[in-house]
Amino acid sequence: MRLSIDPSSAEPLFDQIARSLRQALASGALRPGDRLPPAKDLAEILKVNLHTVLRAYALLRDEGLLEVRRGRGTVVVSPSEKQIDPRLSQAVAHLLMEAHRVGLTENELIRLITRSFRANIGYDSISGEGE
């Protein structure tokens, strides 16, 4: 798994790290039960402050994607253990209302979401595919 960050980007580094880890989860490069590197090690690898990595890990923990076990490491949570962020549930409910309002069928909405998801997830930059 390779994480990519851009120090010159306007996006905060912790958000870039969290986004890269989410992409690794979505692409299958990270799976439930996988251990992430200790925050200190990842900070050294990425050449960022330790607290930047800790903040990214905390963000993903709060989203239910990671479990941070003090002294035992950070682990990817299995889908059955993962709780959906209420903000995401609200966004989905709003999306469904809008889709209904404009007359999209379920299949049309699924195709739209799939196409948008694939266009916005940079699988190659995380998994190392294509190198």
Domain that holds residue 2: 1-82
Q: Are residues 62 and 117 in the same domain?
A: no
Q: Are residues 15 and 32 in the same domain?
A: yes
Backbone angles phi, psi at 72, to 5 degrees: -120, -5
pLDDT at 130: 37
Q: Output the domain CATH number for residue 29.
A: 1.10.10.10
Question: pLDDT digit string (tens) for 59-95?
Answer: 999 888 999 887 778 999 876 555 666 788 788 889 9
Amino acid, res. 106: E
pLDDT reading at 108 higher than 80 = yes
Q: Are residues 73 and 91 in the same domain?
A: no
pLDDT at 129: 40
Please list, in sequence order, all residues whose beta carbon lies within 8 angstroms of the beta carbon of residue 3, skipping any fewer than 6 positions away. Answer: 17, 20, 21, 24, 42, 46, 126
Nearest CA to 88 out of 125, 108, 113 is that of: 113
Token pair of 50 as six digits: 């330790």
pLDDT at 79: 61
pLDDT at 82: 55
How many degrees, rounded to 5, is the angle at CA 58 between CA 90 and CA 24? 80
Grade residue 98 by pLDDT with cuts at 50, 70 and 90. very high
Q: Are residues 67 and 8 in the same domain?
A: yes
Q: Are residues 48 and 61 in the same domain?
A: yes
Question: pLDDT digit string (tens) for 8-52?
Answer: 999 999 999 999 998 888 888 999 989 999 999 999 999 999 999
Total domain count, the chain: 2
